[in-house]
Structure 1
Amino acid sequence: MTGAVACIDLAGTTVADGDIVETAFAEAIATLGIVSGTAAFERAVARFRDTRGASDAAVFRSLFDEPRAQAAHMAFERSYDQLVDRRGLFAVPGAADTLKRLRSSGVRVCLLTGSGRRTQARVLDALDWWDRADLTLSPEDAARDRPCPDLVLTAALRLGVDDVRHVIVCGATAPAIESGRRAGAAVLAGVLTGPHSRDDLLAAGATHILPTVADLPALVHADAAPARDHG
């Protein structure tokens, strides 16, 4: 796909962080008195899981008033940093090679995240990935949160795409896929290494389902026609 841009997510798509994100969320809401074993905790965790792929800040705002949402988000970022220090972060097998193969073939790569810029930088630092992409974007770079198309369209504008049909979106969450669909991307590749199921990704508009991001270069280079499942 000549002149293409691939918008690829971090957590769950290229980064295998185990349960770090969910643990950080649980620790963050605990600072506001919502602790494991309570109905409020179960509701909050269910909300968090359902909305993975949207911005972390938006999830907290959906649960709390603004001052408490900001406090919870700050606590989340602190917990995330501490957990990364203790446990480390690891790339999904084949992810680093995928980024290299795409860029070497002329496909520009934008790494996206639903986390804040600070957390995104922590991930890129931990993996030494700053030179793996042509652009990195976080929710602060767009006017509206996913599943609105703003983040994908921002990537397209900044990287000079002249046709949204040259945009490829690859993600492991429904909001990431729906955002790409609303932006008009031609390829919407859902991967099964993250929090949302094949059915969730298809319902969001995925044109392809891949076992992992390692399968993305073959799909892109084949200029594949939309297919419902490649895994």
Structure 2
Amino acid sequence: MSGAEPISIACIDLAGTTVADGGTVETAFAEAIAALGIVSGTAAHDRAMARVRESRGGSKIEIFRSLFDEPRAQAAHLAFERSYDQLVDRHGLRPVPGAERALERIRGAGVRVCLLTGFGRRTQARVLDALGWWDRVDLTLCPEDAGRGRPWPDLVLTAALRLGADDVRHIAVCGDTANDMLTGRRSGASVVAGVLTGAHDRDRLLAAGATHVLPSVADLPDLVLKDAPVADHR
């Protein structure tokens, strides 16, 4: 990348970025909140779901902790994982179009790939099992692996340590939420690319610090594997 740092590690989000969501995550949140007695159609439910939408991309348990005390947050998180499992059983999971090819192109060029998520480890494993992606990437991380989830920089910095980055500017971060963008900027990554296949729109991604906004992760290889000035990708 002329005039920019060469990318050696790509930290890429799961749901909404490489995995088509289709409302599955939000439905699981709504069902988890209802399981704690906050039912749809009430003002309390509307407030809780507004908080969920505002916090998309963050650690799921931390989102529940922002709504409930610790015992109820743990119960809600368990209900979320069960609901998500059931939704996957009923509807399956599929990659965002072009995501698998993008992972192949990036790794084929010698760039190491880490998949990041706000899911707990159990749900992360369920997603990777369902898609058969364990051998498609070099590393997978969830908040439990890093200490804190998004919007903190810990996930990206943990990837940098585990994959042996010599400079955080050699990292690209890609995701669909404002929290993904904040994580990337706070970690020092030189490329922080938002995609329009998930939770947040272009304006929200740019406001959170995106250096680029792409139609989807399918466009990420063209950004990180060749010259691509920032202004040309907004």
Superposed pair shares fold, TM > 0.5: yes
Match for 1:175 among 162, 179, 182? Answer: 179
Counterparts of 1:28 and 1:218, CA distance in 2: 39
Q: Which moves more between the two structures, 1-10 or 173-182? A: 1-10
- Residues 123-149 of structure 1 show CA distances to partners (whole Å, capped at 9, x for unaligned) of 001111111110000010112221111
Q: Tell me if the contact between 2:121 and 2:144 (Cα under 8 Å) persists in the aligned partners.
A: yes
**Counterpart of 1:108 in structure 2: which amino acid?**
R
Q: Name stretches of at least 5 consecutive residues in structure 1 with no aligned partner.
A: none
Native 8 Å contact 2:7 2:172 kept in 1? no
- Over aligned residues, Cα RMSD in angstroms? 1.1
Aligned position for 1:56: 60
What are the Cα deviations for residues 148-185 of structure 1, in whole angstroms up to 9, with x where unaligned?
A: 11110000110000011100000000111111101100
Find the aligned partners of 1:125 and 1:145 in 2 and give their Cα distance.
22
- Percent sequence identity is 73
TM-score calculated relative to the size of structure 1? 0.97
2:91 pairs, out of 76, 87, 91, with 87
- Distance, in Å, in 1 between the alignment partners of 2:152 and 2:26 is 23
Q: Residues of 2 paired with 1:42 and 1:34: CA distance?
A: 9
Deviation at 1:225, TM superposition (A): 2.4
- The match for 1:166 among 138, 163, 170 is 170
- CA distances 1:10-45 after superposition (whole Å, capped 9, x unpaired): 000000021111111111111111011000000011
**Aligned amino acid, residue 123 of structure 2:** T
The answer for the alignment partner of 2:214 in structure 1 is: 210
Question: CA separation in 1, counterparts of 2:202 and 2:149?
Answer: 23
Report how many aligned residue pairs link the two structures.
230
Deviation at 1:3, TM superposition (A): 5.9
Amino acid of the structure 2 residue aligned with 1:47: R
Equivalent position of 1:107 in the other structure: 111
Aligned to 2:72: 68
Contact 1:188 / 1:208 at 8 angstroms: preserved in 2?
Answer: yes
Counterparts of 2:98 and 2:232, CA distance in 1: 22
